[in-house]
Structure 1
Amino acid sequence: MGLDVEANGLAALSGTFLLLTTGTVVLRFVARYKQKGQVWMDDYTMALAWVGFVGLAALSFFGISRGFLGYAMPRDRALVQAVALTQARALISFDVLTAMTFGMTKLSAVFFYRRIFCFGPRRDVFDYVTVVFVLLVSAWTVTFIVVPLNLCGPLKSIEWDIHHAAQCDHYAYFKGISVSDFVLDVAVLVLPLPKIWSLNMTTVRKIAVSCVFLIALVGLGASTARLVIMMQLIRKGRAGNAKDTYQGNTQIVYYAILEAAFNIVAINGPSLWYLVAGVPPERVLHSIRSIISLGSGHRPDSSKSSVERTTCDAAPGHKLDDTDSSPSSPVKNGVETYAMADLSAVTSAKGGQGVIVVDREFRREVEQRHQHL
């Protein structure tokens, strides 16, 4: 028997990742506080995902304590029936929290993409696509929260009766949530890649930025493992799993916790940069925003460059980097001054009134300021 069907394995997994996910979520908000960054939708949805994960871990410990998770099913049918109702309610609650946790984690990732790529009054295709993804993931989450409550009939699942177990089509539900969850994970993972590769950057930088977003591959690996296990259980069917339903339920709980934990940790990974390397995630965010803004300034249909727009928006006596970089900032498509150091040296750029003249001296001054940061 493997760790995924043993009480010790399930308890170790739940306890370890409960501490790890809690730590990464706390670090995320500590980083926001220290950097005076705005708490936005990606943070709120991540907090909800963590609440859901705490519920998943608590239910796993509860199942272990009551003996229906992590142990072999008793041969005495009276013992099985004694905990049947408690087991059913716990597993239905687990299914509801699984959908909530998975959904909130996906929404946090999509809102993080919007925090970086969707700013300013101008809307592009990526802006609309992410809105569609928000609606799609929200609908998916609500659907798979409601379905477990109605598997045995409208709102009858909570009053589940072991004598009517055949009326509850759990296997169709398992197949539906497992396959759709995997497909959504892949879609959310690759969502920002076309946007990144359309930016005016070198190939090396595109690969580097893509790798930052592909950290979530660890979560996709857990999602794949969970899909494989679920398909095996579905292939066995009710008759094949009837010999020991406790073992199958333990595997379902084990891999759901594994996937949820990996996704939460992966998405919160950038929060560790501030404490480990002293590099705030917002600095990387500003740099990517600046690249996007500068890239849009070179489009043929642009009447002014991004730098020109920033100059016009800056009030007299204020620095260009005084504007708030949050999604709610009134000046959202400005270029942060320190990020200008990423630009190649420009010999000369002449313009009329209200236009910045950029030369090597300006770049040298910005580089000096960047070093002080």
Structure 2
Amino acid sequence: MAYFDAASETAIGVIFPALAIASLVVRAYSWKRYSPGIEIDDILVIPAFLLTTATGVAMVVGAQKHIIGGHSLPEITAAEQHSLGKFEWAYWMVGIVTIGFVKLTILFFFRRIFKGRSSRTAFDYANWTLIILVILWVFAFLFAIAFWCGRYPTRAWASLWSLRHECVDTFALLAACAIFSWVMDLAILIEPLLVIQTLNMSHRRKLQASLVFLCSILAVVAGLLRMITLIQIKIQGTTHANTRVLATLFPTADQEGIVSLILFWTYIEIGVGFAIACLIPCARLLDTIFLEPILSTLRLLSSAVSLSKWTRGSRSTKERELARSQTSWSLNDGRNQYKSSSQGIEDEVELVTVMNRV
């Protein structure tokens, strides 16, 4: 049994919308507490949330209706191809728009905190370039998927033969879409890290700020796995008996299993990306709630350890001084006793001498 069966498809369709709700609530609270007003990213996060939730619901419905999460063996039937083709086509249309809104939410948040006040900076040009590329990416691949079977989108789900012979190479198109998406994810990860290095801050503060933005690496990893999946399928083609994708071996005829795997990683990328888009702006709030108490506790422990060491050191010093004084007293007493005994012997010798003289 594969890890992307109906149960796991249902699970991520429930977990990530719940995570999206929690992330949005935290972001809203942080905005109310710290933000002076509504910015563009605060508006973009709303459609991103609605679409993230909608795609999660679609995953649950698809898994429960046995459209995804299963296997079409020994070969896919006409009814299965009809349901799977329609579901996949609609999912990609909504999924690309969702990913686009998530990326734009993050990029416009970067503009809020890094944009130049007086003149255009290198960040301004780089950020606007990424924003334009994301918008072009959404419209280009949305158009390509909408018409990947020409004027007759029904060919995508009419039969497997019509999908492979009367439509464009869908796996090549989706692989290209994933590659462009991942490259932009990588640029979104790197952009704030480069800007932070130019700020007039201490190395410690730069490290703290960089760690906040490094959480975007989770979305980069999820996008990478989706990209690898599609590239592997494209390279192996549909002429072999089996297809190996992310260490899982499929019969090439198992269209439902292959599509289920692709959609599984696609939705993980969407869910993780939205959570990051909400949590990065909440860094100050999360720092207040979680990090400051931890640091305070560590400071108290450090102070307690230092005090304990100082107390032990103080006691040891006192004990050494006491031992030194006792030793000194013993030596002096010994010297006095020695002097007394010597004096006694000398007195006795003198007494004997006197007696002899008498």
Answer whether contact 2:84 2:256 (CA < 8 A) is retained.
no
Tell me how far apart the structure 2 counterparts of residues 88 and 42 of structure 1 sit (CA, whole Å).
34
**What is residue 134 of structure 1 aligned with on the other side?**
131
Q: Offset of 1:120 from its aligned partner?
A: 2.4
CA apart distance, 1:279:
6.3
Pairwise CA distance, 1:250: 0.5
Distance 2:37 2:154 in 1: 40
Query: 1:223–1:259: 8 Å Cα contact kept in structure 2?
Result: yes
For the residues of structure 2 that align with 1:38 and 1:139, how far apart are their CA atoms? 29
Relative to structure 1, the CA distance from residue 19 to residue 217 in structure 2 (aligned partners, 3 Å threshold; closer, same or farther) is same
- Equivalent residues of 1:24, 1:271 under 8 A apart: no
Give the Cα separation in 2 of the matches to 1:110 and 1:36: 17
Q: Is 2:95 aligned against 1:98?
A: yes
SS at match of 1:157: coil
Aligned twin of 1:31: 30
Who is 2:153 aligned against? Answer: 157
Q: Is 1:84 equivalent to 2:81 in the alignment?
A: yes
CA drift of 1:61 comes to 1.9
**RMSD after superposition:** 2.2
Corresponding residue pairs, total: 276
> Which one-letter code corresponds to 1:107 in the other structure?
L
Q: CA-to-partner distance for each residue in 1:137-196, whole Å, 9 max, x for gaps? A: 110111121111111113x22453215112222111121011111111101110122221
Structure 2: how far apart are the matches of 1:30 and 1:238? 50
Once the two structures are superposed, residues 307-341 of structure 1 have per-residue CA deviations (whole angstroms, 9 ceiling, x without a partner) of: xxxxxxxxxxxxxxxxxxxxxxxxxxxxxxxxxxx
Compute the TM-score of the two structures, normalised by the length of structure 2. Answer: 0.71
Question: What is the percent sequence identity of the aligned residues?
Answer: 22
CA contact (8 A) 1:24 1:272 kept: no
Q: Structure 1: which 5+ residue stretches go unaligned?
A: 281-373
Q: Does 1:72 align with 2:71?
A: yes
Query: Higher RCO, 1 or 2 (CA under 8 Å, sep at least 6)?
Result: 2
Matched with 1:187 is: 187
The residue identity in structure 2 corresponding to 1:54 is: T
Alignment of 1:1-373 (within 5 A): 1-4=1-4, 6-35=5-34, 37-75=36-74, 80-154=77-151, 156-158=152-154, 160=156, 161-162=158-159, 163-166=161-164, 167-168=166-167, 169-240=169-240, 242-270=252-280, 278=288
| 2: CA distance, partners of 1:277 / 1:129 | 29
What is the CA-CA distance between 1:121 and the residue it aligns to?
3.5
More helix by share: 2
Choose 7-16 or 42-51, whichever is displaced more.
42-51
CA distance in 1, matches of 2:24, 2:149: 36
CA deviations on 1:11-44 (whole Å, 9 max, x unpaired) are 1111111100121023212332344632221122
Label 1:216 to 1:97 Cα distance change in 2 as closer, same or farther (>3 A): same
The 8 Å contact of residues 273 and 279 in structure 1, kept in 2 or not, is answered as: no
Name which one, 1 or 2, has greater alpha-carbon Rg.
2
Query: CA–CA distance in 1 between the matches of 2:97 and 2:42?
Result: 15
Q: Which amino acid aligns with 1:24?
A: S
CA contact (8 A) 2:225 2:265 kept: yes
Shift of 1:68: 2.3
Work out the CA distance in 1 between the residues paired with 2:75 and 2:8. 25
Instruction: Tell me which moved more, 33-42 or 85-94.
Output: 33-42
Distance (Å, rounded) in 2 between the aligned partners of 1:100 and 1:25:
19
Question: Residue 170 of structure 1 aligns to which amino acid in structure 2?
Answer: T
- TM-score, L = length of structure 1: 0.68
Match of 1:180, as an amino acid?
F
